[in-house]
Each structure stands twice: as structure tokens, then as C-alpha cells.
């Protein structure tokens, strides 16, 4: 049994989770302070990939990153780097579909933050950066961690956008999801079932982690 799809899926999910962690927190913290109209417009734009079919998300990414498109062609000419049909392409797909989960979860955590704590810090002469990293972020850590876990799970199970952007090449771009489809399509159902079990085991661990974080978050609020 070739374990490359598991390795590739994990590294894509891990890298994309790191990216959406920082971008999601930045977007959530900034947008939470905006007025209702602007916040509503940005919410629609940033969370649209969460409701669009993954293949549609993949199509839009191809329009942006394809080798015949300005951005994709520029990267190919300047750096000799293809932005599609490589394992790195899976990162773009995973970020696009998992970012809304991280953003919405983090924004909810920031909106529930008690602003009197930040005001108290300002009266003590603490900088906004210090208040964010040492007061605001630790107070919202359970919600943010839940967002990271959900984003990781979404990236790990991504198929539609990944299949369009990275394709399926054994030993190069194959992920668990694309491997299951290819094995099923070629009547290798026994091997496909094994990969399904691997994915289900990882998903079960992720769900247990999310439940534990939510329970700790509720207990922390009661305290």
C-alpha cells in the first residue's frame, strides 16, 4: 500500500492550516471592528467558498493560476514554477475552501471577547500589540483552536477544488480523496475502502478534538 497520498494530504492540510490561521485571525480581528454594512459585504465575499461547490472554487482558481492566465504565466516565465498540476497546487485549493471556517470561527471568538479587558490594559499603558497577543488572543484561544482544527479537517478531506487544480498523479499530486476516487473508478474497491477507513479515523480524531475544545470553552465561560 503506497502511503504517499496520506503524506501528501497531511502536508497540504498542515501548510494550509498555518496559512489560514494567520490570515483568518487577521481578517477576523479587523472585520469584527467594522460597521455592520461593510462587515456584511466582506462576510459574503470571504465566506463564499464555503457555500460554493468545490469544483466551482477550483474553476475560479484555474482562471487565476492557470499557465495561460496572467498570474500563472508570469510565475512560469519568471521562476519556472507551475501553479497548477503540482502538489503545491493542493495548498491553494485547501486554503480557499478552509479559510471561511477559520475566519468565521475566529470572528465569533473575537466578537465574544470582553472589551473591558482591553480597555483595562490600555489604562495601564499597554500597547495594542501587547493586548492582542497577551490578552485578546489567549482569551479567545479555544474558539481559535477549534477553527484551526476544523480548517485542518476541511483541507484534509478536500477533493473538488484539488482535483481540478492539482489533478491526480500517483506519487506526485495524489491525496487521500483523489486516490479514493481513482481506485473506485478502476474497480479497486478493497484498496479504496482502506483509504476510506484511514480518512474516517483521522476525521474521528479531529471531531473528538473539536468537541473537547468546545467543552473547555463552555466550562471557561461558566467559570
**Which of these, 46, 44, 182, 31, lies nearest to 111 by C-alpha position?**
31
- Residue 222: what pLDDT? 58
Q: What is the DSSP letter of 132?
A: I
Whole-angstrom CA distances from 39 to 29, 148, 160, 164, 199 are 11, 22, 29, 31, 36
pTM of the shown model = 0.86
Low-confidence ranges of the chain (pLDDT < 70): 214, 216-223
- Residue 217: what pLDDT? 62
What gap in Å lies between CA 209 and CA 200, rounded to an integer?
A: 14
Show the cell assigned to 167. Answer: 489533478
- Residue 141: what pLDDT? 81
What gap in Å lies between CA 59 and CA 165, rounded to an integer?
A: 8
What gap in Å lies between CA 174 and CA 191, rounded to an integer?
A: 15
- Residue 219: what pLDDT? 65
- Which residue ranges form the domains of the chain, and what is each CATH number? 4-176 (1.10.3720.10)
Cα dihedral 43→49→51→56 (10° resolution): 150
**Which of these, 100, 111, 103, 101, lies nearest to 136 by C-alpha position?**
111
- Residue 18: what pLDDT? 94
The beta strands (E) that lie in the chain are given as none
- Residue 193: what pLDDT? 92
Cα dihedral 162→50→149→42 (10° resolution): 120
Amino acid at each position: 500500500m503506497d502511503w504517499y497520498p496520506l503524506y501528501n494530504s497531511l502536508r497540504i492540510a498542515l501548510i494550509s492550516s498555518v496559512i489560514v490561521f494567520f490570515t483568518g485571525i487577521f481578517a477576523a480581528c479587523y472585520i469584527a471592528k467594522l460597521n455592520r454594512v461593510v462587515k456584511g459585504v466582506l462576510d459574503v465575499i470571504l465566506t463564499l467558498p464555503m457555500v460554493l461547490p468545490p469544483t466551482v472554487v477550483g474553476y475560479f482558481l484555474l482562471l487565476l493560476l492557470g499557465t495561460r492566465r496572467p498570474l500563472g504565466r508570469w510565475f512560469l516565465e519568471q521562476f519556472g514554477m507551475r501553479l497548477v498540476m503540482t502538489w503545491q497546487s493542493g495548498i491553494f485549493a485547501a486554503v480557499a475552501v478552509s479559510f471561511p471556517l477559520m475566519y468565521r470561527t475566529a470572528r465569533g471568538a473575537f466578537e465574544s471577547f470582553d472589551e473591558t479587558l482591553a480597555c483595562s490594559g490600555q489604562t495601564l499603558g499597554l500597547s495594542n500589540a501587547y493586548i492582542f497577543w497577551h490578552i485578546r488572543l489567549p482569551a479567545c484561544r479555544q474558539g481559535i483552536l477549534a477553527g484551526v482544527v476544523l480548517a485542518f479537517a476541511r483541507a484534509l478531506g478536500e477533493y473538488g477544488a484539488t482535483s481540478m487544480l492539482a489533478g491526480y498523479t500517483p506519487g506526485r499530486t495524489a491525496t487521500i480523496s483523489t486516490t479514493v476516487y481513482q481506485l473506485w473508478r478502476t474497480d479497486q474497491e478493497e484498496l479504496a475502502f482502506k483509504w476510506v477507513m484511514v480518512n474516517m479515523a483521522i476525521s474521528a480524531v479531529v471531531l473528538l478534538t473539536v468537541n473537547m475544545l468546545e467543552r473547555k470553552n463552555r466550562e471557561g465561560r461558566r467559570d
